[in-house]
Amino acid sequence: MRYWLTFVLSLLASVYGMAAPVLITVELPTVESKKSWHQLKIPTYELIGNTAIAETEESRVGWLRQRGFQPNVIDRQPDLTRFMIVSNYDQVLGLKAIPVWRNAKTVLIKPDSNGKETKKDYKHQARPLNTRPLPDRFWQSIVETRVARRNITADPFVQSVVDQVNSDSIGAVIQRLQAFQTRFVMTDSSAAASAWLKQKLDSLGFAAFYDSFSMDGSWAGNGMERNVIAQQPGAVLPGTELILCGHFDSYSEISPLLSAPGADDNASGIAATIEAARIFRQYSWKHTITYACWSGEEEWMWGSGHYAFKADSQDAKIGAVMNMDMIGYMNDGSYDVCVGYTDSYDYCQWLVDLYLEAAAVYVSGLTVYEQADFISDNTYFSQVGYPAIGTEEYPNAWAGGNPNYHQPTDVYSSLDPVLFTMVARASLATIAVIGISPGSVDGVAAHDVGVGDRLRITWSPSYETDITGYQVCYGRVSGQYTDTMGVAGDSFDIAGLMTDTTYYVTVWAIDTAGRVSPNAVEVTGAPRLLPRAPEYLTAVPVDSGITVAWNANLELDLAGYDVYRKIDGSSYDSLTSLGDTFILDKPLSGAGRYYYKVKARDTDGNYSPFSDTVYCRPITLDQGILLVDETNNWTTGSFPRDAQQDSFYNYILNGYKYEPYEYGSSLQKPVLADFGPYSTVAWLADDYAGLLASGAVNDMRSYLDNGGKLWLAGWKPSGNLHNTVTYPADYTAGDIMYEYFKVDRAELSGSTDSFKTAIGLGGYPSIMVDTLKYPASTLWGKTMRYIEALTPLAGADTIYVMDMRNNGSPYEGRACAVRDSGKTVFFGFPLYFMDREQVKAAVQKVMAEFGEEPLGVTGKPENLEMITSVRLFQNSPNPFSSQTNISYQLPKAGMVSLNIYNIAGQLVKTLVNGNQAAGNYVIKWDRLDSKNSQVSAGVYIY
């Protein structure tokens, strides 16, 4: 008994697991692979280097492989809130949790310890796994190459701004914040510190405001905190923010509630932010400058995350984020700082490069190092697609560079005023360069002219009124431009190029002061003699035809396209020449399979290589029945083998024009093009474990919308359509169960229920479980479990109800099959395990309603069912208390007698005695004899 229970529980767990969410990693090494992945809309939470960390249903893993990806399952039914990302883990001592994924420098862990211990163990090298899917802005940023202005020369205005940075002014703010003793989150001192910061910004002429947020789930407890924000509107581009920021909260490992002065971490960065506000307020800037004092950084960036996520939700424009965190401690006599961004988000590299340039030009004596992975208040900005970097003293405080890190000894007297002044100057210089420069040029594109040595570069003209022209820079190496041309308009032809060679091109705006855009998008182009092969060819079935479409070629001398087609196994023939990027091929026969490919041609008569090939079939609804066999190809265990299922399906559909379609794995998923030629699709999913139908739901909808008819039967079929085995399930408008199968709710019988018979209604024959084919008979004790109880919508017909072996079952008499007359039929139970003769009779009833004629039958006779012999079926329910149903079938018209006898052979009652037409019949017996007296309980023969 113990073994039986253990096995069943394991089996159920494995079945549920196939439909449960899984955490996966996927390698996306190229720009095209990132674009393709993003188009799938799989919730993706991280992109670390080229590794995406995403969540999907396990049943879709094969589907992803079919599309060329190689997902690796790293956790099942994941709780995303438990995962941590640890960067530069080789520098972290005592990594306790076992990594579930790692690359050369980063690990994904699921710690057993609580959040507070994790914070103490991993310090700034750890952060929670992002639990918000990366937005469109992130993917747009990650697939573009953006470069910074190189070799900048000193601008007198920027130098005058930088020279105003004063160590005493910064020091005074640091000491005032230190005087709060602690600024640990959700303490009175934190509230007092934020109030002082608001007052300080107000005194500088700003209308500062609180940006409040809830820290629900923080390791330090739950409560409200607030950022302090001040903004200076831009004169030319007020809709774009440049953010100077740092965090004011502090932490001490010994006593965060009482003694966390946080002079370096991070009164130093906040003081530099206040200093920027003091100086920048005197001038007009093209962009809006935001001065942000974040709270909750020590709790993994709660405050900055709140602001970043809100900006993303409002589609705000943020041109750059300059975060300053721990910029005042020097341990080796060298004035140096590190600058970096989070998680290899290379689209932030231009901002690091600009910082390096600005520091070299405006801050003599400061050495700047690039940091491999910078985790601070810049992190969440970059995760939603905004360019964001951070600065920190070198060597890193968390790596041992500052012995006062997170200690009560982190006080002003341990800092070097020269260092924090120099770092502040470099940070302000970076934002000042952006703030006075023209905005970056949008819409840059490189077009192949088609003559083999020329590219036409176009861009969107700037709407800034002081732009005098543009610089077009190009070369054969990314980021290295050997040629520069001045242009007055919004396009330029680069001539004298090498044929079939890739060139990298940027466009920069120049204003009346001679200032140049701080960054530019790099695009590529290759001059060719021959057109490129057309890309992204698609074929979509329509009524009696196929629409073929593709992306337009960008060659400027393009003349048009030639479309080629083949039918079935024939050779390709030229179908047509046209200038558009689509063709409607019509009328077509549903009997054929059609294949297409396309060539582009230019004005000189040159042809491109062929495109990829696409396949399709039209919607004709004239090819009979498509039998979709969604069963696992079992080779072991208690379930039937695929050959057994095939034999069963062949038997029940024998006599009809039908074509089988094997759907045993996600790689074989049928689509609308597979359905379209057939007037009926019979989708039989008798597989207990597999849930594959969900991948084809949209194709089912389109097929039904185009006039097709669909019969779906199987084990947990509504769960199969939704890729879940969670019951009960309620359906509403817009769901396929509600709109097409007319079902409002589905429930599932349990392990204590045993399905015996589907009792037919409305002329449908009853169908009994075949006792010789009980599934997993040695494990389930010869029971038939997990049958769907359906609640049909008004207007739908219940055609089968359940008869259970256990008469006290709550599912007794519940609907288990419904129909939307002439359109859909839905069976909530599998067919293979039922009596095959009764199933065959049911098939004939379904097909007759759908208008499917048996082979050799013409016209529209009243009864189209194929019945080859007299059959008397087992009554249902059996045993019974008040009434039972007796079913039989007749192959032709004739005299019929149906009698009830007791075990002594005595006639009890005659139920039928007369001529009947061919067909299926169900007769009810209510335990009354020929005298209308109720007979006693016992055994009777009919």
Q: Print the SS3 string covering 904-931.
A: CCCEEEEEEEEEECCEEEEEEECCECCC
Q: How confident is the model at residue 20 (pLDDT cuts 50, 70, 90)?
A: low
**Cα 664 from chain centroid?**
24
For residues 459 and 443, is the Cβ–Cβ distance under 8 A?
Answer: yes
Nearest to 113 by CA among 98, 103, 101, 102: 98
Query: In whole angstroms, what is the distance from residue 612 CA to residue 563 CA?
Result: 12
Nearest to 916 by CA among 930, 942, 898, 941: 898
Better-predicted residue by pLDDT, 154 or 16: 154
Q: What is the pLDDT of residue 916?
A: 83
Terminal Cα distance for the chain, rounded: 39
Specify the DSSP element, H or E, that contains 558: strand 558-567
Half-sphere exposure at residue 36, Cβ-oriented, CA atoms within 13 angstroms: 14
Average pLDDT value for residue range 453-464: 94
Q: What is the pLDDT of residue 860?
A: 38
Strand spans (E) along 58-125 = 72-76, 84-87, 99-102, 106-109
Does the pLDDT value for residue 722 go beyond 80? Answer: yes
Specify the DSSP element, H or E, that contains 642: helix 642-652
Average pLDDT value for residue range 198-206: 98
Which tens digit of pLDDT belongs to each residue from 113-163?
544 445 455 555 677 888 899 999 999 999 999 999 988 899 999 999 999
Please state whether 741 falls in left (phi above 0), alpha (psi between -120 and 50) or beta. Answer: alpha
Does the pLDDT value for residue 5 go beyond 50? Answer: no
Whole-prediction pTM: 0.68
Tell me how many degrees the CA angle 155-439-364 measures, rounded to the nearest 5. 30
**325-329, 397-401, 662-666, 890-894 — which is least confidently predicted?**
397-401
What tokens does 850 get?
């759908």
Better-predicted residue by pLDDT, 885 or 682: 682
**C-alpha dihedral sign at 572, 573, 574, 575:** negative
Half-sphere exposure at residue 827, Cβ-oriented, CA atoms within 13 angstroms: 27
For residues 529 and 605, is the Cβ–Cβ distance under 8 A?
Answer: no
Q: Work out whether strand 126-128 and strand 84-87 pair parallel, antiparallel, or are unpaired.
A: antiparallel
Nearest to 828 by CA among 788, 862, 872, 883: 788
Asked whether the bond before 877 is cis by omega within 30 degrees of 0, the reply is yes
Asked whether the bond before 128 is cis by omega within 30 degrees of 0, the reply is no
Give the mean pLDDT of the chain: 88
User: Which DSSP string corresponds to 751-800?
Assistant: TT--EEEEEE-TTPPPEEB-TTS-TTHHHHTS-----EEEEEPTT-EEEE
For residues 716 and 702, is the Cβ–Cβ distance under 8 A?
Answer: no
Which tens digit of pLDDT belongs to each residue from 278-328?
999 999 999 999 999 999 999 888 999 999 999 999 999 999 999 999 999
Bridge partners, 76 (sequence order): 22
790 phi/psi in degrees, rounded to 5: -110, 140
**C-alpha dihedral sign at 831, 833, 834, 835:** positive
Tell me how many degrees the CA angle 456-582-491 measures, rounded to the nearest 5. 15
The total number of residues written for the chain in this structure: 942
Bridge partners, 44 (sequence order): 54
Better-predicted residue by pLDDT, 734 or 487: 487
Better-predicted residue by pLDDT, 782 or 36: 36
Q: What is the pLDDT of residue 617?
A: 96
**Cα 83 from chain centroid?**
19
Q: What is the pLDDT of residue 527?
A: 95
